[in-house]
Amino acid sequence: MRRPPEPRGEQSRLIEPSPWIVTEPDTDPLTDTPVGIVHPAKRGGRILDTPPAAGRLTISRRTIRVQQGTGMSGALQIRFPDIIGVSESQRTINGTTVETVAVRHLDPPATVLTTEFSVWDDREHDLFTQFLRRYYRKQQRKIAAITLSDAQLELLTTLYSAVGDIDIESILDRSSADITEQFGPLREAKLISGGGIANMLTGRGYMLVADRIADDGR
């Protein structure tokens, strides 16, 4: 269902009738853009009863930023490298059905959250979705080009499955020096972050392991 055009205004669409935002061709359409968000909508696979909130969305320096608005407890930031999934759906807000972009992302070090964004303006909604999908497809291409040894994949899978602090040396029965040597190429490929053996998966690393597990299950 497409959004009906309405007069321009400064109202929050979660409080008052939703504005029809008109932006000039030479301005950044993703700066200070009115948006409704549900954060988090999910924690892991569990759906949460989080009410929608109103804010202002900006994309800059590969980060989604939503400034504090009505119903928000503070500003929200999601780094593009932490994004692990993008999907589209619909949500009803104040009696109006709007398109929603669900962004699945890591909340470091290892929590997986889903945040839903509802951008009212059709053009800005499309641009926002294109930004995210373009980045996600780029990540998938990079992941498809990565070749890992069995030992490296085992390390990544251990981090993927970890809950809280873990002793990787004990789990894998390897020396600290051996594990650190294995981590070097993984860090260069931007699959992990951190130093020494105190590492965590990046969004790319999480996506890679999830894809490999899905492939093994087919």
pLDDT digits (tens, 9 = 90+) for 107-153: 877 789 999 999 988 889 999 999 899 999 999 999 999 999 888 89
Q: How confident is the model at residue 162 (pLDDT cuts 50, 70, 90)?
A: confident
Contact, 176 vs 143, CB < 8 A?
A: no
* This model's pTM is above 0.85: no
Could you please state the CATH topology (level 3) that the domain comprising 33-143 is classified under. Answer: PH-domain like (2.30.29)
Among 63-67, 172-176, 178-182, which stretch is predicted with the lowest mean pLDDT?
A: 172-176
Q: What percent of the chain has pLDDT over 90?
A: 41
The answer to whether residue 22 scores a pLDDT higher than 80 is no
| pLDDT of res. 41 | 94
Domain ranges of the chain: 33-143, 146-216
CATH among 1.20.58, 1.25.40, 1.10.10, 1.10.260 for 146-216 = 1.10.10
| pLDDT of res. 67 | 86
